[in-house]
Amino acid sequence: MNSSDVLGLSVQAAKTLLDRGEVSSYELTRAVLDRIREVDGRVNAFVTVTEDEAMAQALSADRRIADGDNGPLTGVPMQIKDNMCTRGVPTTCASHMLQDFIPPYDATVVARLQLEGAVLVGKGNMDEFAMGSSTENSALFPTRNPWDLDRVPGGSSGGPAAAVAADECVFSLGSDTGGSIRQPAALCGVVGLKPTYGLVSRYGLIAFASSLDQIGPLTKNVTDSALVLNAIAGHDRNDSTSIRYDPPDYSRALLPDLKGLRIGVPKEYFVEGLEPGVEEAVRTAIGVLEELGAKVEETSLPNTEHALAVYYIIAPSEASANLARYDGVKYGYSAAEADGMWDALDKTRQDGFGPEVKRRIMLGTYALSTGYYDAYYLKAQKVRTLIALEFRDAFQRFDALVTPTSPSVAFKLGEKTADPVQMYLNDILTMPANIAGIPAISVPGGIVEGLPVGLQFLGPPLGEETLFRAAYAYEQATEWHRMRPDL
């Protein structure tokens, strides 16, 4: 089988060919690495490519398959966002602060995928310390959108989304703090899932905002998303926030119709600034849901309008605390020339962090400072509770909610870097799910002027099965997920 024949395979399709012996993991991995060599000079989806390790893992996977000791992900090439620890492989967070950091252990999600026999081909580029919506904040280089190389892929998981869209891996893992899986998935025309907070272990994920961060898959279709979640979900004693819950087989929720499913359409998500083409595509998609048998009704979530303000108090505050550990002493970058300990600490943080990371550290430090803690951080946490309760009440009436994922299609590189507030608004439709800790998935929902539109489903805590059902039925009734960029 030619390498061109295996590029673009889904997890499910790759497994079928591997099980039948029609392709080996060695051949599939070689084809993916050749693809990376061919196109990544233009896309910049990878920070590190692990060619030697990948080929060794592929040979091991082929032996497992031959012995019948294989699962859905055995032998399948994957990428990991570069804020998840990989033993012996650099983990930089796309920051000068960690440019030489090589972890001595694997993140739990990495260990679980390798236990399944998945093949790591490299680490994905991202906004520095996951702070951004365009991957332009990477201290290394910006990633470009495979649909239009002059546009952003979204962020902060821009590298993973672009890599999946460009067929540089079969699937990837990203992290989502305020939309960092779903927004780039929408802009790159792939599927992105943010699971319920605590469903997937955060052990080994380099922290941004610990009460918001969640790891999830970026895949070519909904079936693949369910298969990857099967592998990474479940309790982990190394993560104190991990839920004690026995996850089901999510692939069993993939049903072709939505008969009897109650779906709410929150009017507040059709915000001012929503591009007309995006709104039209989403409204058309909602019509498809009705045709599939769903009972669709408009609803209201009035506290949604406060989500942006709440997020930009809580997330920077937690970032300020989490990033205090980078002091130039224990690990990471350390300023070589300094007059004493305090000067060394100042210069380390001044030179090691980029502008956006510094901006958020300062915002968080201010919000947590004496005299402002009650006025900002404490009040934000109270409004966070109101947002969560509002979702709880909505899910008494509805099985799922449907919204746009992003207010716009992919924008031009450099278009919003001069205005941080405009950049922050790109996550306005995804942040509420993180604030409430609920699951959400983005699927391809249309094409506007040659660029993908994302359709977002939100569900109650541990409602991933319902999300998969809704997303899969919509996906199977449309052709958007089959469309790929021409590189």
CATH number at residue 45: 3.90.1300.10
Q: What is the DSSP string of 396-436?
A: HH-SEEEEES-SSSPPBTTSSTT-HHHHHGGGTTTHHHHHH
Say if 365 falls within a structural domain: no
Q: What's the Cα-to-Cα distance from 95 to each of 143, 206, 240, 263, 480, rounded to whole Å? A: 14, 12, 27, 41, 35
Which letter does DSSP use for residue 329 in this model?
S
Scanning 166-203, the segments in alpha helix (DSSP H) are: 182-188
How far apart CA 163 and CA 106 sit, in angstroms, is 21
3-state secondary structure of 12: helix
Enumerate the active-site residues: 81, 156, 180
Say if 270 falls within a structural domain: no
Domain limits for position 86: 3-260+400-482
The residue assigned the tokens 């998981």 is 157
Residues of the chain above pLDDT 70, percent:
99
Sheet holding 191-194, edge to edge: 46-49, 119-124, 77-81, 171-176, 214-219, 191-194, 440-448, 451-458, 400-404, 262-266, 295-299
**Given this model, what pLDDT does residue 248 score?**
98
How many domains does the chain divide into?
1
Cα Dmax for the chain: 70
At position 43, the amino acid (one-letter code) is: V
Instruction: Give the tens place of pLDDT for each residue, 206-241.
Output: 999 999 999 999 999 999 999 999 999 999 999 999
At position 40, the amino acid (one-letter code) is: D
Q: Of 130, 174, 125, whose CA–CA distance to 145 is shortest? A: 125
Say if 281 falls within a structural domain: no
Say if 280 falls within a structural domain: no
**Given this model, what pLDDT does residue 390 score?**
98
Specify which residues 458 forms β-bridges with.
Answer: 401, 440
How far apart CA 330 and CA 334 sit, in angstroms, is 9
Instruction: Give the tens place of pLDDT for each residue, 12-44.
Output: 999 999 999 999 999 999 999 999 999 999 999
Instruction: Give the tens place of pLDDT for each residue, 410-453.
Output: 999 999 988 888 888 889 999 999 999 999 999 999 999 999 99
Q: For residue 368, with 0-12 CB atoms within 10 Å meaning exposed, 13-18 middle and 19 or more buried, which class applies?
A: middle
3-state secondary structure of 354: coil
Say if 77 falls within a structural domain: yes
Per the structure block, which two tokens stand in for 198?
């605590």
Say if 385 falls within a structural domain: no
How far apart CA 131 and CA 427 sit, in angstroms, is 12
Say if 293 falls within a structural domain: no
How far apart CA 182 and CA 131 sit, in angstroms, is 15
Say if 192 falls within a structural domain: yes
Q: Which of 258-272, 327-341, 362-376 has the lowest mean pLDDT?
A: 327-341
Averaged over 89-105, what is the pLDDT? 96
Instruction: Give the tens place of pLDDT for each residue, 469-480.
Output: 999 999 999 999
**Given this model, what pLDDT does residue 370 score?**
87
